[in-house]
């Protein structure tokens, strides 16, 4: 069973050596020494150490946080205990985040930083990014963030069809140069990643995609990522809540979705948590690191407080079952899904 949805169906190790499985592996059963070590590792829930890129399971999302607010929000988040900040060249707030990182006393190696190179977008005037441009973009991000190395560097989207492979080669080069620790992609579907596979070069370590109960990972994509050890990282996990991106033009929801009822409220009430907490935990229990964004202190705190409850397998299924067939990604314009671009 290689699908990322495996937790819904599995109650114990299936014996296939699934990379992120939280259950005691079948092969250690009967070996007291290994079982003791397993018990000591407290591997009950997904943790940083369960993915090969060591990414924390909760990170601060920063899209739509203006540069002049990014410093104080990042400081608040880190002081609250966030260990991961997700930003991007195109968010134009790396500078503010960098100022926060510089002013804090938390050691650099305790904060994980993801940023993304913007490859361009169709229907825009500027040409798509090139190999040299990608190297320069990374150097600029390092400068803004005031760090020597980025923990995870991603190609933001697959839109630069002609340049896709060249951009991926630039990512590999940046890793060689020690400017980034891990490299990955975002909004890539199987056919985009197969181009890299066909070139026989290093594969991405992660793929950041829109994942929430209305937009679950398709089986072929989940299987491809599991097979190639590409970690799915979830963005916009709160999209189904009615106030998601309220008032922003970057909200691909049709009007009826914006004014709809809060989904899964009865389930959240059962656990004594809010729906945002329920959705974030749902994603984490499926093995996906999450990136909740908020500009509000109380919400930053709320979104980090996920350890005190565990969603039952039955409720995981109920939440996953609200998925909408053919639902397009909501974080972009709403009328297309970046996963579907050629």
Nearer to ligand NAP, 46 or 118 (CB): 118
Q: How far does CA 78 lie from the centroid of its chain?
A: 18
Nearer to ligand NAP, 21 or 241 (CB): 241
One symbol per residue from 111 to 150: x for binding ligand NAP (CB under 6 A), - otherwise; what is it? ----------------------------------------
Distance CA 319, CA 337 (A): 22
Nearer to ligand NAP, 4 or 62 (CB): 62
**Number of amino acids touching ligand NAP (CB under 6 A):** 30
Nearer to ligand NAP, 18 or 306 (CB): 306
Closest to 233 (Cα-Cα) out of 187, 194, 202: 187
Angle formed by the axes of helices 297-304 and 275-285, to 10°?
A: 40
**Whole-angstrom distance between the N-terminal and C-terminal Cα of the chain?**
29
Three-state DSSP at 269 gives helix
**Contact by Cβ (8 Å): 35, 29:** yes
Angle at 339 between CA 166 and CA 249, to 5 degrees: 105
Using the rule CB under 6 A, is 46 a contact of ligand NAP?
Answer: no
Using the rule CB under 6 A, is 70 a contact of ligand NAP?
Answer: no
User: Sign of the CA dihedral 45, 49, 53, 58?
Assistant: positive
Using the rule CB under 6 A, is 86 a contact of ligand NAP?
Answer: yes
Q: How many CB atoms lie within 10 A of CB 48?
A: 14
Pair of tokens at residue 247: 């008032």
Nearer to ligand NAP, 18 or 157 (CB): 157
Using the rule CB under 6 A, is 62 a contact of ligand NAP?
Answer: yes
Binding ligand NAP (rule: CB under 6 A), the pick from 296, 321, 323, 324 is 296
Residue 33 CB, shortest distance to ligand NAP, in Å, is: 42
Using the rule CB under 6 A, is 292 a contact of ligand NAP?
Answer: yes
**Which stretches of the chain bind ligand NAP, using CB under 6 A?**
61-63, 86, 156, 186-187, 208, 235-239, 241, 243-246, 274, 276, 291-296, 299, 302-303, 331
């Amino acid at each position: 069973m290689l699908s990322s949805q495996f937790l819904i169906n599995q109650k114990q190790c299936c014996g296939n050596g699934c990379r992120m499985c939280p259950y005691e592996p079948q092969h250690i059963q009967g070996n007291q020494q290994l079982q003791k070590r397993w018990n000591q590792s407290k591997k009950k829930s997904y943790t940083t150490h369960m993915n090969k890129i060591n990414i924390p399971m909760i990170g601060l999302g920063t899209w739509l946080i203006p540069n002049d607010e990014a410093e104080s929000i990042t400081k608040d988040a880190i002081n609250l205990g966030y260990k991961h900040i997700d930003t991007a060249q195109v968010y134009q707030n790396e500078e503010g985040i960098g100022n926060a990182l510089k002013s804090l006393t938390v050691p650099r190696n305790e904060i994980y930083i993801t940023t993304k190179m913007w490859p361009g977008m169709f229907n825009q005037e500027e040409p798509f990014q090139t190999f040299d441009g990608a190297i320069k973009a990374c150097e600029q991000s390092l400068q803004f963030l005031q760090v020597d190395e980025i923990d995870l560097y991603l190609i933001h989207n697959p839109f630069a069809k002609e340049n896709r492979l060249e951009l991926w080669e630039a990512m590999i080069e940046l890793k060689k140069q020690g400017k980034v620790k891990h490299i990955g992609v975002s909004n890539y579907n199987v056919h985009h990643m197969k181009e890299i596979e066909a070139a026989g070069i290093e594969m991405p370590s992660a793929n950041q995609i829109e994942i929430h109960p209305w937009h679950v990972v398709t089986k072929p994509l989940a299987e491809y990522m599991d097979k190639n050890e590409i970690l799915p990282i979830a963005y916009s996990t709160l999209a189904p809540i009615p106030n998601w991106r309220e008032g922003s033009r970057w909200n691909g929801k049709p009007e009826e979705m914006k004014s709809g009822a809060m989904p899964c409220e009865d389930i959240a009430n059962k656990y004594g948590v809010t729906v945002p907490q329920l959705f974030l935990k749902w994603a984490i229990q499926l093995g996906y690191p999450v990136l909740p964004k908020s500009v509000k202190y109380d919400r930053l705190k709320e979104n980090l407080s996920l350890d005190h409850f565990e969603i039952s397998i039955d409720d995981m299924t109920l939440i996953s079952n609200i998925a909408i067939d053919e639902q397009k990604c909501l974080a972009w314009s709403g009328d297309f899904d970046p996963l579907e671009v050629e």
